[in-house]
């Protein structure tokens, strides 16, 4: 009797959280849809592109944390978010001041206010969104192999790889479409729409370092039955669609094609893993 009462109580307590998650996710998808329309409509909408994108970013951040709170204690989720945001922000601040580890970059007025005159305000939020949702997508892909001993290492490695795929779409979007930052020339003969190779290497290394500190907070302390969570895949896919729209609008065909190929490879794998 007590067990049935506890189960009913747990369901009642989880309903408001699930409702909040769905509401935030719906608002995020609506904001992304408006941002995509704004890309092609120009100034015909009563919003500035920056305000729409900022609203979508904050909704993605909030819905990601609320979704994860349904799987882990809230203090663990907040701890992980703080670690990711602080470490990601610190790395980008170091980059602005020294050019390391990503490369010499200059942030423009389009990026909005700068924290400490060096860090765009949205960068810590972006790091949390990218890392947590990449990890969520990686968990879906690796779901059939979740009982392997090396699962944790595969999860970290695949998460870093998904972050790299994300940044390969982010860079041309930020530099050629939104003009949030500008890269200075480097000695490397190869770049990706102006972004040096060191930028992508820096993201991967920083992600691995961040996961090393944040993963303990993201691990379940007690083994429980695992259910697939599609929220990270929806957020990740929606942002990729936003990238594709922006890149197509500026005729950046190669970059758009790369993002499309990435989606066609990753999304089916995640859905297949979730159904395992």
pLDDT tens-digit profile of 120-131?
999 999 999 999
The pLDDT of residue 33 is above 80: yes
Q: Quick: pLDDT tens for 201-230.
A: 999 999 999 999 999 999 987 766 677 899
Q: What percent of the chain has pLDDT over 70?
A: 90
- Return the structure tokens found at 159: 């998460």
pLDDT 10s digits, 234-258: 999 999 999 999 999 999 999 999 9
* Per-residue CA distances from 76 to 66, 69, 213 (Å): 12, 8, 12
pTM of the model: 0.91
pLDDT digits (tens, 9 = 90+) for 41-69: 865 444 455 688 899 999 999 999 999 99
pLDDT at 14 over 80: no
Q: Two tokens at 74?
A: 């809230």
For residue 154, is pLDDT > 80? Answer: yes
CB 32 within 8 A of CB 241: yes
Domain locations along the chain: 72-274
């Amino acid at each position: 009797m007590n067990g049935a009462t506890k189960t009913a109580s747990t369901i009642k307590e989880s309903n408001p959280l699930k409702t909040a998650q769905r509401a935030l996710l719906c608002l995020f998808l609506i904001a992304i849809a408006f941002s995509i329309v704004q890309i092609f409509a120009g100034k015909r909408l009563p919003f500035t592109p920056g305000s729409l994108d900022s609203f979508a970013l904050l909704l993605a951040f909030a819905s990601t944390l609320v979704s994860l709170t349904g799987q882990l204690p809230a203090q663990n989720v907040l701890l992980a978010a703080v670690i990711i945001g602080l470490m990601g922000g610190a790395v980008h601040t170091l980059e602005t001041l020294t050019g390391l580890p990503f490369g010499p970059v200059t942030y423009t007025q389009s990026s909005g206010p700068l924290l400490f005159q060096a860090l765009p305000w949205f960068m810590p939020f972006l790091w949390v969104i990218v890392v947590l949702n990449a990890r969520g997508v990686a968990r879906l892909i690796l779901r059939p192999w979740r009982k392997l001993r090396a699962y944790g290492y595969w999860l970290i490695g695949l998460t870093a790889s998904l972050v790299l795929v994300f940044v390969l779409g982010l860079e041309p979007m930020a530099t050629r479409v939104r003009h949030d930052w500008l890269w200075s020339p480097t000695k490397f003969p190869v770049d990706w729409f102006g972004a040096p190779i060191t930028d992508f290497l820096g993201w991967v290394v920083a992600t691995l370092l961040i996961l090393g500190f944040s993963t303990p907070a993201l691990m379940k302390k007690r083994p429980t039955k695992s259910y697939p969570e599609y929220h990270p895949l929806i957020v990740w896919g929606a942002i990729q669609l936003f990238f594709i729209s922006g890149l197509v609008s500026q005729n950046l065909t190669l970059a758009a094609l790369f993002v499309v190929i990435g989606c066609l490879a990753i999304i089916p794998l995640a859905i297949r893993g979730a159904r395992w």
